[in-house]
A and B are shown apart, each in its own frame.
Chain A
Amino acid sequence: MAGNKGRGRAAYTFNIEAVGFSRGEKLPDVVLKPPPLFPDTDYKPVPLKTGEGEDYMLALKQELRETMKRMPYFIETPEEKQDIERYSKRYMKVYKEEWKPDWRRLPREMMPRKKCKKADPKSKKAKDTDKGTSLANTADVLKKIEELEKRGDGEKSDEENEEKEGSKEKSKEGDDDDDDNEDAAEEEYDEEEQEEENDYINSYFEDGDDFGAESDDNMDEATY
């Protein structure tokens, strides 16, 4: 063994013949690249099962996929405005059934908010047009969805404002609470109030940007 080393032969701690290389045979090159994306297979795959059942399931699967797209549960992303409005687009729209979730089964925060505290000009406009075209239109789902989306954009900025106010109010309230706990308990339940109570989440994640930047790493460590 020691002689081997002296003659410059690679020294292995084990008998290389046991792995299947005879004495003096060249070892394969070291692989330095990832395996090919579509490697050649030595054996061809067996054909798929066919039969009545398989055909029926195939048809079912394809039909199901198409049906799902027409269900009200399929939420489409708002389309980007195209430069040219296509005439055919108007006729391509699929009318979806309206879906009314059973709010009793869902957490209350899921309910779309009914009133908008600070109506910004955008949503006001939307409301006005809504009133103008009166009752027939209230049923129009598409309109409603659009309106909701518009409002959603507006709301976001509203909420940010609210949060700031909320945190101020909260600090005040905190003082009050110390003085009189009963008052807090008697407070009437209100959607807005509820949000303020939950506000600690927002302040935790949204207020301090610098905190958010390092929060991930910190949290991971904390779990240890």
Chain B
Amino acid sequence: MTQAEIKLCSLLLKEHFGEIVEKIGVHLIRTGSQPLRVIAHDTGTSLDQVKKALCVLIQHNLVIYQVHKRGVVEYEAQCSRVLRMLRYPRYIYTTKTLYSDTGELIVEELLLNGKMTMSAVVKKVADRLTETMEDGKTMDYAEVSNTFVRLADTHFVQRCPLVPTIENSDLGPPPPAPTLVVNEKDMYLVPKLSLIGKGKRRRSSDEDAAGEPRAKRPKHTTDNKEPIPDDGIYWQANLERFHQHFRDQAIVSAVANRMDQTSSEIVRTMLRMSEITTPSSAPFTQPLSSNEIFRSLPVGYNISKQVLDQYLTLLADDPLEFVGKSGDSGGGMYVINLHKALASLATATLESVVQERFGSRCARIFRLVLQKKHLEQKQVEDFAMIPAKEAKDMLYKMLSENFISLQEIPKTPDHAPSRTFYLYTVNVLSAARMLLHRCYKSIANLIERRQFETKENKRLLEKSQRVEAIIASMQATGAEEAQLQEIEEMITAPERQQLETLKRNVNKLDASEIQVDETIFLLESYIESTMKRQ
């Protein structure tokens, strides 16, 4: 874990779960796995709070535990999983585009709660949907659970590891912690539930504002008494599957940019066909014959077999090698080279970063070195057709920022500089790592800046919230227009302007966070895929 990652984890945990959880989580990330007592001692936190914090972290799949010898339970933080919290909006939005509002809310609930039983998710989502509907209309449980089944079928949600049922024989003391078992076969198997019912609307607002906690209590207890049919079967969002989807989308849009819409549609079809058959970490998809691809093209896409074959040959000939030909049987067998695609996308990201940071002439040198692999300084100057002095300047700048690396090849064993070749080269993997590290830093900076902006304007924000609340309550009681205006004027014009600026800044910072995370995703996928091949 680099310092930048730890810093970012700390900011994220604090923002989502509060200071105590952050303290425990960061401690675990720094130290690795540790038992409960040691955590409490080292962080100087009371045992009860450590327990609470650990419960929260385990619930959200951010910490795992393991029983060690002599019955000690050790807790270990999942740093990379903590960083995934940045991507929550994207997961939710993706489900919305694929499975509309119902799917969106299902995934949102799962991400908000870490893990939930299916019945709980369905109930909650139905209630939430009902609240947004017009009066008199309700959302049926059956409809929500249908969407849930579809999400499970496409592997976007999966079961959490199960607690094995222990026979109730008295074979010594029970273990200090349950060992969770992953059942590969049932990972996406939805339990048979007969969820009948409709979403319930909450009572009108004035009632629950005053006496909600007490009034609601008896209802809750009766709810709990009902036997839960899928007790103990918990579900979580399958982030791996989401990443696979993001990767596929990135490949499709890259093809569309490079060639045209039709070829991207062909690649999309190929990716969709191999979605379930290819594991998400494989470097290639399963080979698909052109006949199969032709049959699976979406209806309404009117291209003939000949045109398809031409497109496939064209794609296979492309120097980027997104699509490769693996055989001639069945009218030609084609695969998608996923690793190559990710490498191309990562390289393109590097190129564009160089272009935006150092200008187009630097980018020319960078691309040149990328293409020719190893170049001497003199060769760079000549090939790039840039005056020697400027070329050197640019080269050194990129060298000092670690985009370009230097390889020494001594002619004599004494490494004398005058008798040594200095070759410039781009090590894509290490450059990608460096850039990733910078991305973590920038997101941490963005979050800190956003928190600073909000803190600076805390008083103003609170005031505007209060005024809005008053206006809302007055509107509910049917106040006159003049009265409302009077209250609205409690916020002066400069204050209003200040609020506007704040809102614009926060929006910009938030949007940047999301978009930097897209770069992080690309670089991470590339690094992961490269590491697996080695």
Residues of B205-227 at the interface with A, using a CB-CB cut-off of 8 Å, are 212-214, 217, 220
Give chain B residues whose Cβ lies under 8 Å from the Cβ of A30. none
Contact of B112 among A19, A56, A68, A105 (CB under 8 A): A68
Q: Is B416 part of the contact surface with A, judged by Cβ < 8 Å?
A: yes
Q: State in angstroms the CA–CA spacing of A65 and B506 once bound together.
A: 13
Contact: B511 with A48, CB < 8 Å? Answer: yes
Contact of B389 among A20, A53, A71 (CB under 8 A): A20
Taking a contact as CB atoms under 8 Å apart, the answer to whether A48 and B56 are in contact is no
B46 engages A156 (CB within 8 Å): yes
Cβ-based interface call for B351 (8 A): no
In the complex, what distance in Å separates the CA atom of A65 from the CA atom of B21?
Answer: 16
A146 to B96, CA, bound (A): 40
- Verify if A15 is at the interface (C-beta below 8 Å from B): yes
B356 at the interface (CB under 8 A from A): yes
Do A140 and B47 touch (CB < 8 A)?
no
Asked if B457 is at the interface of the complex by the 8 Å CB criterion, the answer is no
CB atoms of A68 and B178 under 8 A apart: no
Chain B's closest residue to A152 (CB) is B48
Instruction: Give min CB distance, B502 to chain A, whole Å.
Output: 13
Interface positions of A from 153 to 197, Cβ below 8 Å from B: 153, 155-156, 159, 189, 194, 197
Residues A57 and B90 in contact in the complex (CB < 8 Å), given A42-B358, A155-B48:
yes
Say yes or no: B49 contacts A152, CB within 8 Å: yes
Produce 1/0 per residue, A60-93, CB < 8 A to B.
1110110110010111110000000000100000
The total of chain B residues at the interface (CB under 8 A) is 80
User: Contacts A54-B514, A61-B513, A102-B232 given: A198-B37 contact, CB under 8 Å?
Assistant: yes
**Is the CB–CB distance between B511 and A54 below 8 Å?**
yes
Q: Does B331 contact A (CB under 8 A)?
A: no
With A53-B93, A65-B15, A73-B56 as known contacts, state yes or no: A108 contacts B359, CB within 8 Å.
Answer: no
**Any chain A CB within 8 A of the CB of B479?**
no
Q: Which residue of A lies closest to B418 (CB)?
A: A14
A149: nearest chain-B partner, CB-CB: B48
Interface string of A1-42 (1 = CB under 8 A from B): 000000000000111001110000000000000000000011
CB-CB under 8 A for A105 and B163, given A48-B511, A64-B88: yes
Contacts A13-B417, A155-B48, A156-B46: A77 and B392 contacting too (C-beta < 8 A)? Answer: no
CB contacts (< 8 Å) of A213 on chain B: these are none
Q: Total number of A-B contacts with CB less than 8 angstroms?
A: 176
In the complex, the answer to whether B93 meets A20 with C-beta atoms within 8 Å is no
Contact (Cβ within 8 A) A140 B89: no
Given the contacts A15-B418, A110-B55, A198-B72, A156 and B234 also touching, CB distance less than 8 Å:
no
Q: Do A202 and B55 contact each other (CB < 8 Å), given the known contacts A53-B93, A75-B18?
A: no
How far, in angstroms, from A13 to B18 measured CA to CA in the complex? 58
A63 to chain B, nearest CB (A): 9
Q: Are A105 and B90 within 8 A (Cβ)?
A: no
A222 contacts the other chain (Cβ, under 8 Å)?
A: no
Contact of B38 among A14, A65, A73, A205 (CB under 8 A): A205
What is the minimal beta-carbon distance from B521 to any residue of chain A, in angstroms?
13
Interface centre among A54, A67, A155, A198 (most CB of B within 10 A): A198
A112 to B50, CA, bound (A): 11
CB <8 Å contact, A105 and B234: yes
> Is B413 located at the chain interface by the 8 A CB criterion?
no
**Contacts A18-B377, A45-B356, A201-B72 given; does A68 touch B16 at CB 8 Å:** yes
Chain A residue contacts of B220, Cβ below 8 A: 98
The complex places the Cα of A28 from the Cα of B108 at a distance, in Å, of 57
Q: Which residues of B contact A88 (CB under 8 A)?
A: 466
Which residue on chain A has the smallest CB distance to residue B111? Answer: A64
Distance in Å: Cβ of A141 to nearest Cβ of chain B: 7
For residue A208, CB closer than 8 A to chain B, the reply is no
9 pairs, CB–CB < 8 Å, chain A vs chain B: A48-B515, A64-B92, A98-B220, A109-B73, A155-B46, A156-B46, A189-B173, A205-B37, A206-B41
Additional A-B contact list (13), CB under 8 Å, known A13-B417, A53-B97: A18-B377, A58-B89, A64-B108, A68-B15, A73-B60, A77-B18, A107-B176, A108-B176, A136-B214, A140-B213, A152-B46, A159-B47, A206-B37
Top 6 nearest A-B pairs (CB, nearest first) are: A107-B177, A189-B173, A14-B417, A152-B48, A20-B392, A60-B89
B interface residues (Cβ-Cβ under 8 A, vs A)? 15-21, 35-38, 41, 46-49, 51-56, 58-60, 65, 67, 70-73, 88-90, 92-93, 96-97, 108, 112-114, 163, 172-174, 176-178, 180, 212-214, 217, 220, 232, 234, 356-359, 377, 388-389, 392-393, 396, 416-418, 466, 506-508, 510-515
